[in-house]
A and B are shown apart, each in its own frame.
Chain A
Amino acid sequence: KNEVEQSPQNLTAQEGEFITINCSYSVGISALHWLQQHPGGGIVSLFMLSSGKKKHGRLIATINIQEKHSSLHITASHPRDSAVYICAVSRYQGAQKLVFGQGTRLTINP
């Protein structure tokens, strides 16, 4: 079993829909990251969380440390949000290397 599991693996929605991507992990972590990978391969860091909730524009990320679970939400989704969203965790305090989930491929249709 992977240390970081994401669901769903693939998600297709219509423009404007509210999107939720889930991430569960089975190990102790110091931080959880949400990353976005576009079709060309480039990866952008969206959030780093160690507790609570963060918001940036239409993106919201939450984490529940007790339940070892995080969610990424996209409000008013748009075709340009189409990408692979990856959850990753830092295992130890001060650790910079990451353990990655398998990614969620999101497609938003106009």
Chain B
Amino acid sequence: SAVISQKPSRDICQRGTSLTIQCQVDSQVTMMFWYRQQPGQSLTLIATANQGSEATYESGFVIDKFPISRPNLTFSTLTVSNMSPEDSSIYLCSSVFYNEQFFGPGTRLTVL
């Protein structure tokens, strides 16, 4: 199995600031995914983080708002830029290891 950790686990931020969320996998994985879960909603894919190339963003999400880094096969960061209260969500990273889905514990973000 794979273990995914995220930092921070939660944060409260002011409008207009940015927060970078870190995701660490204890195994090398090809793709890492960043999801958002807004209050009371299910998960929505933000982007796929590819090692050695730019992230692939889903419709409705743009690099300027959610820049992603993937410097190696075990680590990725997601930045939530110029935050507004609408960005208050749980952000989760995920990957697949031997055909099984693994998720990080999530980062609970509140924007005031």
Contact = CB atoms under 8 A, between A and B. Distances in A.
Interface string A86-110: 1010000000111111110000000
- The number of chain A residues touching the other chain, given as a range, is 10 to 19
- Closest 3 A/B residue pairs (Cβ): A43-B103, A41-B106, A96-B96
B105 A45 contact: no
Interface string A27-41: 000000101000011
Q: Among A35, A48, A88, A98, which residue has the most Cβ atoms of chain B within 10 A? A: A98
Nearest to A103: B42
Given A96-B95, A98-B101, 14 more contacts: A42-B105, A42-B106, A43-B92, A44-B103, A48-B99, A86-B42, A86-B43, A88-B43, A96-B33, A96-B101, A97-B33, A99-B45, A100-B43, A102-B41
A84 to B, nearest CB: 9
A98 B105 contact: no
A37 to B, nearest CB: 9
B48 interface: yes
Interface of A: 33, 35, 40-45, 48, 86, 88, 96-103
Interface in B62-112: 90, 92, 94-96, 99-103, 105-106, 108
Contact of A100 (B42, B48, B95): B42
A35 B106 CA distance: 15
Contacts of A102: 41-42
